[in-house]
Structure 1
Amino acid sequence: MVSVKRFIHDEPALFKASKAFVAQLFRCADPIVYVACKLSDKNEQIAWTLLGSALFQERSYPEILRLMLALHERFPGDKLWSLPVPKGGEIEEVVEQTFNSRNWSVFENVAGIFWSVGLFVRHHPDLVAWMRERTPEEMWRDLGEIYFMGRSNPRPKACAAIYRLIAPAPLGLGLAYRECAKMPPLPLTMGARRFLAMLGPAKEDNFSELDPKEKQKLANEFFVALAPENPYFAAHSLQFFLENGTNGFICRELTANCSECPLYEYCNYAEVRKRY
């Protein structure tokens, strides 16, 4: 039986190292937030965060960063939501030029996602007020209007978008919202999944065989244990674990090729096995 409490009891040193890993990486911005923070208008920041969250799939962090920058350069300001909307071929051209390929499962849906986010903004023209007047749960429901944001629980892209909007900088935009006790599930990224399966509470079990609800429950409990002051810090940090970056894994790039990583004694992918 996979148990966070048992993991903490049986692996105190590894748990301590995991907490240190979270503390070391939690201030690193993901590519969606990085691009949004470059925009001066709050409405634009929110709109592009929603677009990036819907698009973020099956591409590396640097690739998504390049795509977001390229799309914004081609369609700046209110071009994401103003009429007339860009032609599908124009949007696809940006993707193809960015990736030098059409080989992406989302490629044929990118224009639809772009248009859908634009329609969402036209339905909610003051996005700052939209956030301020809604709880995260209500935002989660509204985001079902956006194509590829997901319609069935837990809708991870919608959850990720919300936390990017409300988390304090530099993790997110730190925008105001109507607070409530119930929050959407914390984002369960591929990096966090790897961590849970390789170094976390599921390392002695087959994480892949757990059903989605069990995976999410385990992740939420582990995030709370790692960062009780704000569990999103843990969810955010673990997304970088063994995630491809520009020159190898992002976590390597952020820890001097593993030499400064608290997990270097435990991770089989560590480049540096001991300190000198």
Structure 2
Amino acid sequence: MRRVSVITGGAGGMGLATARIIGRDHTLVLCDVRRDRLEAADAALKDLGLTATAVHCDVTDRQSVAALFETAAGLGPIASVIHTAGVSPSMGDAEYVMRTNALGTLNVNEVFYGLAGEGAAIVNVASMASHMLPEEIIPTTQFPLALTDVTAFMEGMTASCGIAPDEARPGLAYAVSKSFVRWYSSSQAERFNVRRLRIVSVSPGSVDTEMGKLEEQAGAGAMVADFAVPRWGTAEEMAELFAFCASDRAGYLTGTDILNDGGVIASMKERTRIAAEIS
């Protein structure tokens, strides 16, 4: 029996690209909140000779996520989860962005933790944006509430974005929510390891996908041409990294974030240092 890999946001650019790689030697379970895109992704994989079980799932709903994993477990032992489901600042208000990215990550990971067997791994997609926030505005005191009081966690996380003007709050919510993804993927590594599970996050830079292009004229997307690698990353480049992190070849990798941003953050830090020296 082949092992199973679950890909959330499996109809999106990075999710589908990852499915093309992992589907070569795993049973695939794709989930997405949009049925039309999910059907199209399933058809695209079939054209490549890959078979996937498509599951409509809303990651912000814990019961929906539990049903997803029950389906996956019924197909075989769960080897990995690639959690790409998420939304960008242009796709909704601050509460929607926070709920999808932060609460969605919590739900997927906690259900995975309770169900997956020894040796399984989960890869969470964070973002370069989380590396840009000044530490003093990251609501780190709210993060642990995710494990004890979800309502208070969400209220505190959303309220933390109130420091920004209305038009900037979705962007701040995005960066804060992805900061939580990084924190969770690091802080829970020891707990996961007790069950012999691995947990990793990857922070992509600006990626040439439908969602990524929504930010082309704003935020991180506007920086692409001005930094170390003056181009967008590709979904395939991200997928190769996700697949490696989830594989047995990365068996020593856990509790960390991998920044895959074409050198944007490195360039920003070095330019800031040089500017400070000049001034």
Same fold (TM over 0.5): no
Higher strand share: 2
For CA contacts below 8 A with separation 6 or more, give which structure has more relative contact order.
1
TM-score between the two structures when normalised by the length of structure 2? 0.29
Answer with 1 or 2: which has the greater Rg.
1
TM-score between the two structures when normalised by the length of structure 1? 0.29
